[in-house]
Amino acid sequence: MGFVFIRFAKGPQASVAEIMAPFAEELRHYQSETMVPAGEIFTQKTPVNWKSVRDVDNEGYHVAMAHPALQDLYGQTYYDEPFVNGVCRSFATYNPHAGRRWSVRNYVRISQDNPRLPEHLKKAWIYYGLFPNCVIAVTPETVQFYQEFPISRNETMLRGAVYRYKDETREQEAARYLQMRIDRDTLSEDVQLTIWSNEAMASKSFGNFYLSDLEYGVRTHHDHLRRVLPVMTLEQAPEEKEVAVVNARMRLR
């Protein structure tokens, strides 16, 4: 669908097309292969462990408390689905009564019907999580991706880009601008959450992960990680140079 994925070494995962197959029909409506870049690829370094970024992104219940613009936009409609076989999906539709925020009020007013989309997707903002570190997101105006790469134990590179329709109308362009403003606020709120999450794990009071029933997005992502990295289930971390060997041995069990 216009995206190119490169892996430098063979791994245990199936191809992206196979992993994303459950959502291929839905995604196909967006015709992302006909889109053009809406801007540059953005990158941003953040001073946290990669896992803190993914953990925050994998649960949606912080939206109501941490993302006032998204909450205004979505109302009660946002929900997460768990990771199953390497892929998950979070779905929201925007709320026609939204409007406490300037960007949201005007986005809802200006956003037009995308004739490519069936009824149930016309007002949808959807996020597809691709294990372990990638999200592809769609709105009526855009398709975007974002990923995180660990640089060191305490540093992560965020990377992403937005794509638009080549023949967009002035209204679609304006809606895309307003969406960018909403996403810009959301990103900086999320960066703060990941810093707190990272600090929490480093605290001497941190016992373990106690997840609520609403955090199955985090839980199922961790399950996927434990499957490929059983070494992370050990109480004590092995010496760094031993990690790969210990992990390989545990995978054989």
Minimum gap (Å) between residue 68 Cβ and Fe ion: 12
Stretch that binds Fe ion, among 6-14, 144-152, 185-193, 232-240 (CB under 5 A): 185-193
How many other C-beta atoms can be found within 10 angstroms of the C-beta atom of residue 253?
A: 5
Count, residues near Fe ion per rule CB under 5 A: 1
Judged by DSSP in three states, 42 sits in strand
Using the minimum distance from each CB to Fe ion, give the nearer residue, 55 or 190. Answer: 190
Closest to Fe ion by CB, 168 or 215: 215
Measure the CA–CA gap between 98 and 92, rounded to whole angstroms. 13
State the amino acid at position 90 in one-letter form.
S
Question: What's the rounded Cα separation, in Å, for the pair 21 and 24?
Answer: 5
d(CA 165, CA 177): 14
Q: Closer CB to Fe ion, residue 168 or residue 190? A: 190
Binding mask 222-241 for Fe ion (x = CB under 5 A): --------------------
In angstroms, what is the minimal distance from the CB of 67 to Fe ion? Answer: 6
Binding mask 122-161 for Fe ion (x = CB under 5 A): ----------------------------------------
**Gap between the Cα atoms of 40 and 117, Å rounded:** 26
| DSSP element (H, E) containing 86 | none
- CB 73 to Fe ion: min, Å: 13
**CB burial class (10 A; 0-12, 13-18, 19+) of residue 147?**
middle
- Give me Rg for the CA atoms of the chain: 19
Subset of 62-81 contacting Fe ion (CB under 5 A): none
Ranges within 85-124 binding Fe ion (CB under 5 A): none
Query: How deeply is 240 buried, as exposed, middle or buried, from its count of CB atoms within 10 A (0-12, 13-18, 19+)?
Result: exposed
Q: In terms of CB distance, is 72 or 190 closer to Fe ion?
A: 190
| Rounded least distance, CB 103 to Fe ion, Å | 16
Please, are residues 104 and 137 in contact by the beta-carbon 8 Å criterion?
Answer: no
Q: Which is nearer to Fe ion, 65 or 244 (CB)?
A: 65
CB of 188 to Fe ion, least distance (A): 10
Around Cβ 87, how many Cβ atoms within 10 Å?
Answer: 20
Of 80 and 141, CB closest to Fe ion: 80
Among 55, 141, 190, 215, binds Fe ion (CB under 5 A): 190
Q: Which of 149, 168, 147 is nearest to 37 (CA)?
A: 168
Nearer to Fe ion by C-beta: 94 or 165?
94
> What are 23's two structure tokens?
């959502």
Residue at shortest CB range from Fe ion: 190
Q: Taking the complex as a whole, how short is the minimal distance between the CB of residue 184 and Fe ion, in angstroms?
A: 13
Would you tell me which residues interact with Fe ion (CB under 5 A)?
190
